[in-house]
Amino acid sequence: MHGAGHEQGRRAGTENVLLAVALGTACSLAQRWTGMPKVQALRDLFWDNLQEIFGDSISLNGHPIERLPNTVNVNFIGRTGADILARLPEVAASTGAACHSGSVMLSPVLAAMGVPTKEGMGAIRFSLGKATTWEDLEIVLDLLYSTVSRAE
């Protein structure tokens, strides 16, 4: 028994049935949403285009197939992800590194995955949603190309 020890320790308390039912309902609704195959296809197309544009200057974090259907986490090798995103205020993405006292450190998660520091410092995570379109991603690709190419 876990909990408050009601009735002189003979029972743990009343489970929150209302929240348990609500969680089950939310899970059922989420399971019925069928938009993930579309999002995953966009994710894969986005990654393919990133590879075409940046070639050996980009690498993927995570498994090439068994990963979240809406996320592309990449490394711009030899670059700093925070610097790239700072030049792209119109792009909502995040880096895999945290800034501390003006220095940028490799994300502990990327380090645990064995991502080399030179690669992981350029990490950027792009998240797609059900409202994401290919046109949105083309804009991001164009902005990345012009920003990263200009920084060379």
Active-site entry in 1, 4, 27, 99: 99
Residue type, position 75, single letter: N
Question: Using CA atoms, how far apart are residues 23 and 20, in angstroms rounded to an integer?
Answer: 5
Question: Using CA atoms, how far apart are residues 82 and 40, in angstroms rounded to an integer?
Answer: 25
CA-closest candidate to residue 51, choices 145, 143, 114: 145
> How remote is the C-alpha of 130 from its chain's centroid?
15
CA-closest candidate to residue 76, choices 57, 50, 56, 52: 57
The question of whether 99 is a catalytic residue gets the answer: yes
Active site residues: 99
